[in-house]
């Protein structure tokens, strides 16, 4: 029987009349910087979609130059409902559309420029992608937001004060004509050169001062008070410092805004982990594309992230207290490609299965301390199991390292722990551990640091009937809103695909009891695909997709490996090895992304490679250094080909875009395939004017 006020009085435990065990206990005082109402709404979304769509979709670029004709924008079957439905079925709660990317082309008929959908053949110039997407979101019950690139490579006034008036006029159109926006996304990229109304020159601006952000932000506040604004440094949520979707293992929702680089475009230092205690609540957003690039490229149809990769990203973004902004780029039809739809659907199915049942629901929770001693009251331990993020268990002010024992009532098996703090009181917990009761003692199976909006710890399966949460470091009494235990559905692991230097590919499964089946043309392996019996010999590059099938026909997850032609017969003819043997030119063809060749001096440089045989090239590849600081990454290039190492023909030339934020392998399709024996790569310019750096040069051939 639970003790009530009367029994306590009778036992003499409450010695004097007038003191009530149910007397209201004050909540804990807030700690550190606190979220605004607007930010709390943003946190509640957790995951939403980015939609990158513009002329780049039709020119096969990542950054348009600004000189594209509006005539190239002509989706054959644009379907806003399909795009929004795909996002919704993927569990994403909003959509942010690139209303204008760096190329300056506007997806709505802005009255301030001719460079928009009104001059494209799509819907005879009467179309409005922003309107259709906003309406589709409303119909589907998803939040809608816009990306309006500050950098505009089309506009003649870019770099001058007049451009700001233009930018704000456009922003006003978006803020006033398309209903409520949940976010306005301000990109920090400012690359320099562009078309600029025909000037074709480099324009440098001072990121800190040029845009006069405070006045633009106040316009957004006035016209869309609930919209949260993104930039590298807020004002409402911050960049996570990479475009791979991964927040720091420790990720604070706070940042020190007194540091001099805290302005949009001011650099990524400190953004991945945040800063504690910080001066402002400025949580991280993990923006990442479901494909290698932000815009649709047919050449990436086989490089769509797998459900397993998407899950990993989810656990490392949403599961570390950040929001996930997952890019789904429409293709040239104007819909999300079947491969992306399939992957996203399976990702969601697995997440839904995992989080359908909280295995701790209905458990008995016993805390080492409860605020005011009232274990049934407002701050009761059981609040962590009520499924509400606005109720919480709290302790007395002096108790900063409490424990919570969760008696499950039966033996259960799980591999995911889910925690939330009560955000209106600030980010309070600095470290925690979770133990399982096993054979008469506590065994720690999960540990972590920051919690914030949500912390998911995903590990090996644990089987027990009793779990203990320990707050191991906190400057003040914790306020824990939710606690959950979940089991991911079991599935056959994807085979491991490996390739050796001469191009032999092996598949390895977790268990001998399965049959591995594979494809080499990009399609999903099915029960009819070839069974793996011996190493595959694919020396010209391509894609292998493999999947395990159990005896009963159940299929597991698919593994995908993209690779270029083998380089075992290649030789770098020039430059010849210099005085730095360890840093020799062979590093650019050693198939090791981590070893990078750096040119000895700054300025343009050329490398010539003998491929050992004539090959019919289908793609050319450049991998920049990808170790965080892409020093020397080549941003303007040319590839030339020769049959005899004497007469050279240019095969491809242009810009490698967005390498600072997303230093991934650059793949250039060669169409029609070109036969060549010798390959020359010219590094015409680097991002930072440092000597050119090449991690790998590669290709695929027919």
The site for ligand FUL (CB under 6 A) is made up of 62-63, 187, 189, 287, 294, 658, 661
Closer to ligand FUL by CB, 97 or 469: give it.
97
Q: CB–CB of 381/399 below 8 Å? A: no
* 171 sits in which H/E element: helix 161-177
- Three-state DSSP at 111 gives coil
Q: Which is nearer to ligand FUL, 188 or 381 (CB)?
A: 188
For ligand FUL, the closer of residues 128 and 287 by Cβ is 287
Angle, nearest 10°, between helix axes 80-89 and 338-355?
30
In angstroms, what is the minimal distance from the CB of 194 to ligand FUL? 13
Least distance in angstroms from the C-beta of 503 to ligand FUL: 34
In this chain, which residue has its C-beta nearest to ligand FUL? 189
Q: Phi first, then psi: what are they for 377, rounded to 5°?
A: -85, -160
Q: What is the spatial distance between Cα 116 and Cα 125, in angstroms, rounded to a whole number?
A: 9
Pick the closer one to ligand FUL by CB: 657 or 682.
657
CA separation for the pair 288, 302 (Å, rounded): 17
If the CB atoms of residues 102 and 466 are measured against ligand FUL, the closer one turns out to be 102
CB of 189 or CB of 401, closer to ligand FUL: 189
Number of helices followed by number of strands (H, E) in the chain: 9, 34
Nearer to ligand FUL, 285 or 482 (CB): 285
Q: Which CB, 254 or 662, lies closer to ligand FUL?
A: 662
Rounded distance between C-alpha atoms, residue 198 and residue 154, angstroms:
8
Residue corresponding to tokens 């001072």: 206
For the chain, helix, strand, coil in percent to 5 are 20, 30, 50
Nearer to ligand FUL, 196 or 295 (CB): 295
Minimum distance, C-beta of residue 62 to ligand FUL, in the bound complex (Å): 6
Q: Which of 75, 216, 208, 101 is nearest to 154 (CA)?
A: 101
* Residue 172: its H or E element: helix 161-177
Cα distances (Å, whole numbers) of residue 637 to 428, 660, 683 = 50, 16, 5
Least distance to ligand FUL, CB of residue 293, Å: 8
Please state whether beta strands 605-623 and 666-686 pair in parallel, antiparallel, or not at all (unpaired).
Answer: antiparallel
Listed in sequence order, the residues at least 6 apart from 520 whose beta carbon sits closer than 8 Å to its beta carbon are 536, 538, 542, 543, 544, 545
> 271 or 509, CB closer to ligand FUL?
271
The dihedrals phi and psi of 456, each to the nearest 5 degrees, come to -110, 125
> Any idea which residue has 């804990």 for tokens?
28
Q: Smallest distance from the beta carbon of 187 to ligand FUL, in angstroms?
A: 5
- Shortest reach from residue 486's CB to ligand FUL, in Å: 31
**Shortest spacing between CB 658 and ligand FUL, in angstroms:** 5
Tokens of 184: 């306005």
Shorter beta-carbon distance to ligand FUL: residue 241 or 556: 241
State the nearest-atom distance from the C-beta of 338 to ligand FUL, in Å. 23
Give the nearest distance from C-beta 46 to ligand FUL in angstroms. Answer: 19
Beta bridge partners of 414: 462
Token readout for 366 is 């016993």
What is the three-class DSSP state of 355? helix
Residue 614 beta carbon to ligand FUL: minimum distance, rounded to whole angstroms: 37
Q: How far is the CB of 219 from ligand FUL (least distance, A)?
A: 22
Tokens describing residue 244: 């791979």
Tokens representing 247?
Answer: 């927040």
């Amino acid at each position: 029987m639970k003790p009530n006020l009367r029994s306590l009085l009778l036992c003499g435990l409450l010695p004097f009349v007038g003191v009530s065990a149910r007397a209201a206990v004050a909540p804990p005082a807030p700690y550190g910087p606190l979220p605004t109402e607007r930010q709390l709404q943003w946190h509640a979304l957790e995951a939403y979609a980015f939609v990158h769509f513009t002329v780049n979709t039709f020119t096969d670029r990542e950054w348009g130059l600004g000189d594209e004709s509006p005539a190239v924008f002509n989706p054959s079957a644009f379907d806003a409902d399909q795009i929004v439905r795909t996002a919704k079925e993927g569990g994403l709660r909003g959509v942010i559309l690139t209303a204008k990317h760096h190329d300056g082309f506007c997806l709505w008929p802005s009255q301030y420029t001719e460079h928009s959908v009104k001059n494209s053949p799509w819907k005879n110039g009467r179309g409005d992608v922003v309107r259709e997407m906003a309406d589709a979101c409303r119909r589907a019950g998803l939040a809608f937001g816009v990306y309006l690139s500050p950098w505009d490579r089309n506009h003649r006034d870019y770099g001058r004060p007049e451009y700001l008036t233009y930018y704000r006029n456009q922003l006003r159109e978006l803020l006033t004509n398309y209903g409520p926006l949940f976010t306005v996304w301000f990109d920090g990229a400012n690359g320099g050169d562009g078309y600029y109304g025909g000037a074709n020159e480099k324009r440098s601006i001072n990121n800190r001062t040029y845009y006069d952000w405070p006045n633009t932000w106040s316009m957004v506040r006035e016209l869309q008070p609930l919209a949260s604004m993104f930039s590298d440094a807020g004002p409402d949520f911050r960049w996570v410092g990479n475009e791979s979707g991964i927040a720091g293992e420790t990720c604070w929702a706070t940042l020190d805004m007194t540091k001099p680089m805290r302005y949009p475009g001011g650099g990524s230092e400190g953004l991945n982990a945040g800063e504690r205690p910080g001066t402002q609540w400025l949580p991280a957003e993990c923006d990442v594309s479901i494909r290698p690039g932000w815009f649709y490229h047919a050449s990436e149809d086989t490089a769509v992230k797998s459900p397993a990769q998407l899950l990993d990203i989810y656990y490392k973004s949403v599961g570390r207290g950040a929001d996930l902004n997952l890019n789904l780029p429409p293709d040239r039809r104007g819909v999300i490609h079947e491969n992306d739809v399939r992957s996203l659907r399976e990702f969601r199915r697995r997440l839904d299965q995992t989080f359908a049942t909280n295995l701790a629901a209905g458990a008995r929770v016993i805390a080492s301390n409860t605020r005011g001693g009232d274990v049934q009251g407002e701050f009761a331990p059981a609040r962590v199991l009520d499924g509400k993020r606005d109720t919480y268990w709290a302790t007395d002010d002096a108790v900063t390292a409490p424990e919570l024992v969760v008696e499950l009532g039966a033996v259960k098996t799980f591999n995911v722990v889910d925690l939330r703090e009560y955000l209106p009181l600030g980010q309070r917990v600095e470290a925690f551990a979770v133990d399982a009761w096993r054979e008469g003692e506590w065994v720690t199976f999960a540990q972590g640091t920051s919690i914030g909006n949500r912390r998911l710890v995903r590990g090996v399966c644990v089987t027990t009937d009793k779990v203990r949460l320990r707050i191991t470091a906190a400057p003040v009494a914790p306020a824990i809103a939710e606690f959950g235990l979940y089991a991911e559905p079991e599935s056959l692991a994807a085979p491991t695909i490996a390739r050796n230097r001469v191009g032999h590919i092996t598949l390895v499964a977790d268990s001998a009891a399965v049959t591995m089946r594979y494809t080499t043309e990009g399609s999903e392996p099915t029960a009819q695909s070839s069974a793996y019996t011996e190493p595959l010999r694919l020396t010209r590059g391509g894609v292998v997709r493999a999947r395990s099938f159990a005896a009963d026909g159940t299929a597991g997850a698919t593994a995908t490996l993209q690779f270029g032609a083998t380089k075992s017969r290649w030789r770098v003819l020039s430059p010849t090895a210099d005085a730095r043997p360890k840093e020799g030119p062979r590093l650019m063809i050693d198939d090791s992304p981590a070893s990078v060749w750096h040119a000895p001096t700054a300025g343009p440089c050329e490398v010539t490679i003998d491929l050992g045989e004539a090959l019919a090239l289908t793609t050319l590849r450049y991998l920049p250094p990808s170790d965080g600081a892409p020093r020397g990454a080549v941003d303007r290039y040319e590839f030339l080909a020769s049959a005899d190492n004497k007469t050279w023909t240019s095969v491809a030339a242009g810009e490698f875009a967005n390498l600072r934020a997303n230093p991934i392998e650059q793949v250039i399709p060669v169409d029609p395939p070109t036969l060549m024996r010798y390959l020359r790569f010219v590094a015409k310019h680097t991002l930072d004017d440092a000597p050119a750096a090449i991690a790998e040069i590669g290709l695929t051939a027919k």
